Amino acid sequence: MRPFQKYFCAIAISLWAASPGNAQLLVAPTLHIKAEAGSGRVALTLDACGGRTDTRILSALVENKIPATIFVTGIWLKHNAAAVEIMRAHPELFELENHGGRHVPAVDTPQKIYGIRSAGSPEAVLAEVESGAAALAVTGEPAPKWFRGATAEYSPSAIAMIRKLGFKIAGFSINGDGGSLLGTKETARRIAAAKDGDVIIAHINQPTHAAGEGVVQGLLALKAKGLTFVRLDDADGVGDEGTTD
């Protein structure tokens, strides 16, 4: 290639990379826990993105002694002190992990994911992850080891950055409540279908949505079948896309 052609190619590539219209390909990593002999075990992960607390779910977890990993944001922590107190009163049940400071997707180029504006730069991804961890530190909880970004989609470069900060990234294998937008029946069906090794994602911050009732029904069905629940810290989680290794 002639020098000037090379030059224009380089400009074209850099323009393409910088243009918000050319969204980076994102990945939605999966996560499984190691299978175990017996009737099987699953990990329940619940996101607290913002908003309030679904006390239907929180009470059911406490009453039925179902352990869960709760991914909290800085925004949610600020407005849900009573729920945090209940979780902290049951350290044998609840593990609190990092869902970011402001609930912006961990994508380091400017784009929208499900209508939510991405962090948009490497610096903003770092700020999102670190401010989430800092907000958790204020509660007196142990330092988080897992991170899950808003929308659970990432740019591969953001995954590498988050891993460098020392966090494992929490994908999932069962989308329990479709972003808390599914009905009661479908949510219950999806969660009740979990098998040994599955990692379920659902939401604990939408008390007015029908999905929350389905989360409770699905969990009780799993418990009745004899499955046990583990938190991410107590299980060997294996994710793809370089999220855990």
d(CA 124, CA 49): 18
Residues 98, 129 contacting (CB under 8 angstroms): yes
- Which range binds Zn ion by CB under 5 A, 25-33, 48-56, 117-125, 228-236? 48-56
47 or 198: CB nearest Zn ion = 47
Beta bridge partners of 43: 199, 230
Q: How many CB atoms lie within 10 A of CB 3?
A: 6
Least separation, in Å, of the C-beta of 21 and Zn ion?
A: 26
How do 31-33 and 237-239 pair as beta strands?
Answer: antiparallel
Residue 47 lies near Zn ion (rule: CB under 5 A): yes
* C-alpha dihedral (153, 156, 162, 168), degrees to nearest 10: 70
172 or 229: CB nearest Zn ion = 172
- Residues 128-157: x where in contact with Zn ion by CB under 5 A, - otherwise, as a string: ----------------------x-------
Residue 202 lies near Zn ion (rule: CB under 5 A): no
Q: How far, CA to CA in Å, does 128 sit from each of 73, 86, 104, 105?
A: 9, 26, 7, 9
Residue 54 lies near Zn ion (rule: CB under 5 A): no
155 or 205: CB nearest Zn ion = 205
* Contact partners, residue 117, CB within 8 Å, separation at least 6: 104, 105, 110, 111
Residue among 49, 60, 135, 216 that touches Zn ion (CB under 5 A):
49
Least separation, in Å, of the C-beta of 102 and Zn ion?
A: 11
Least separation, in Å, of the C-beta of 25 and Zn ion?
A: 21
Total number of residues that touch Zn ion (CB under 5 A): 3
Tokens of 28: 């939605």
Closest residue (Cβ) to Zn ion? 49
200 or 227: CB nearest Zn ion = 200
* Contact partners, residue 35, CB within 8 Å, separation at least 6: 196, 197
Q: How much is the CA Rg of the chain, to the nearest whole Å?
A: 19
112 or 195: CB nearest Zn ion = 112
Least separation, in Å, of the C-beta of 150 and Zn ion?
A: 5
Least separation, in Å, of the C-beta of 141 and Zn ion?
A: 18
Least separation, in Å, of the C-beta of 36 and Zn ion?
A: 29
49 or 235: CB nearest Zn ion = 49
- Which range binds Zn ion by CB under 5 A, 43-51, 108-116, 193-201, 218-226? 43-51
* Contact partners, residue 201, CB within 8 Å, separation at least 6: 45, 46, 47, 152, 172, 174, 175, 176, 177
**Site for Zn ion, rule CB under 5 A:** 47, 49, 150
